[in-house]
Every structure is written in C-alpha cells, then in structure tokens.
Structure 1
Amino acid sequence: MNAELKRLHSPDIYDLENYKPESPANFSFLLQAMIGPVGEDGEESFDIEVCTPKWIEENCAQDVVIIGSHYLIVREYNYKKIIESIRIFLLGCSGEDWGEVARKVSRLGLWEFEGYES
C-alpha cells in the first residue's frame, strides 16, 4: 500500500495556490496535508508548520530550542514546490496496511491519529 496527497488545506490561508506572504522571506503557517491510500477514497490530516529560516531565526530567542519535527522549511512560498516536495516524500511511504503507511507519513506531519490506541 502507498500514500497519496489528496489535497492541501490551511486554516490560516484561504487560497493556498495564490497566497502571497506579506513578508516573502519571513512567514509561518499551518498546512494540513490530506493524505490517503493511493486510488482509494478517504484521507487523513497531517499537520505541517511551513516556515522560512528567517522566521525561525526571529522566533527563536537565544535561550529557546525549537524541535524540528513536523516543520517544512522553505526559502520562499512556492505552492507547486511544496506539493512536489510532499509527493516526493510520500514515494518513500509504503507498507502492508494503512496504519504502517500513516506512521511513515507522520514523520512529515502530525497525524490526526498519532498516539491513538484502540
């Protein structure tokens, strides 16, 4: 089984495709990648913080440590490059079942079911 990017969503940005940050070199926003099994219905949310190095620099005081899990660091906002990068990452996310695949995808973004036990 393999993973497929179904769509992108952001609660912070209405139109991701045409978004233009106020400061192109200094921004951050939540991106929700909706991902599911290739060729099947259904998707689950993986939360990614998209930010620039300048945003990290300005928001990381000398005594602060930022743990980089679930961050996508970009030099500038480019919708097509973000999609391409996520799709390339997903090529390495395969497994016997969706749970195994989703755990691999969760290295990219916080899986909505991360830590869930039935």
Structure 2
Amino acid sequence: MKAEVKQYSMVGGEFSSYWPDDVTDFCIGADVTVGPEGVPGGDIFSFQVCTPRWLAHSAGGKPCFIRHTILMDEYDEDVLKSTVRKLVENTTGNSWEEIAKKLARYMFWEFEDYQA
C-alpha cells in the first residue's frame, strides 16, 4: 500500500499565501492531509517548518528537542512541498495504520496516541 498527499496548509491559510518577512529566519506550523493512494480523504499530519537561524536564537544557545520539525536554510514553497511529498510517497506498508505510524516518526499524526 502507498500513500499520497491530498492537501497542504499553513497555520492561517494555504501554503501559497504564506511568505515570511525573512526567508532565512522563520518558524511556522504546517499541516498535510495524507491518505491511501487513490482513495478520497485522509488524516492530518502536522509539523513546524523552521530555519537553523530561527532555531539558534529561539533556543537561546541551549539544547532543544525538535521532533516534528523540518529544517530548511530558507523558505521555498516548492522545495518544502517536494520534501514532504517524497517522504509520503516513499513510505509504504501493509495497511494505512502501518503507513501512518511510520509517518508519525516525522510529523504529528492527528491520531497519534489515540485510544478508543
């Protein structure tokens, strides 16, 4: 089974409407909807997109954890989408749950730690 990106969005809107004041110093939350290839709908996976420059001054010189974060030297919507798309397309499994759990190593899955 394979997965595909259904939709990209940033906090407050679409990827195409976001542009940081400084492309080398920013951090923003983002979501992608991902689901099984060829099947409508999907689950939401969230992550931060930050630059090393932003991280350096944000952390104040102290160590920090950066789970669910994509680091890029400068903002580039096409590179960002391509990076996420490649991760999703290269993640396979025997079931959707298996794929989603693998993707949750990189992005926060809306059903991560969910218990019925």
Does TM-score exceed 0.5, indicating one fold?
Answer: yes
Cα distance between partner residues in 1 of 2:73 and 2:17:
17
Of 87, 91, 94 in structure 2, the residue corresponding to residue 93 of structure 1 is: 91
Aligned with 1:115: secondary structure?
A: coil
Moved runs in structure 1, 4+ residues, more than 3 A? Answer: none
Q: CA deviation at 1:19?
A: 2.5
Residues 69-80 of structure 1 correspond to what in structure 2 (within 5 A)? 69-80=67-78
Equivalent position SS for 1:104: helix
Identity of aligned residues (%): 28
1:1-118 correspondence to structure 2 within 5 Å: 1-12=1-12, 14-62=13-61, 64-118=62-116
- Tell me by how many angstroms 1:117 deviates: 2.0
Tell me by how many angstroms 1:92 deviates.
2.7
CA contact (8 A) 1:51 1:72 kept: yes
Question: How far off is 1:109 after superposition?
Answer: 0.7
Q: Deviations over 1:37-62 (max 9, x none)?
A: 11001111111100000000010123
Once superposed, what is the RMSD of the aligned Cα atoms? 1.3
Structure 1: tracts of 5 or more residues without a match:
none
Structure 1 residues 45 and 15: alpha-carbon distance in aligned structure 2, compared to 1, 3 A threshold: closer
Task: Work out whether residues 68 and 105 of structure 2, in 8 Å CA contact, stay in contact via their aligned partners in 1.
Answer: yes
- Separation (CA, whole Å) in 2 of partners of 1:102 and 1:78: 26
Distance 1:3 1:89 in 2: 10
Structure-2-length-normalised TM-score: 0.92
Shift of 1:18: 4.4
Structure 2 residue runs of 5 or longer lacking an equivalent are none
TM-score normalised per structure 1: 0.90
Asked whether the equivalents of residues 10 and 18 of structure 2 are also in contact (C-alpha less than 8 Å), the reply is no
Q: Report how far residue 83 of structure 1 moved.
A: 0.9
**Shift in Å, 1:10:** 1.7
| 1:21 CA displacement | 0.8
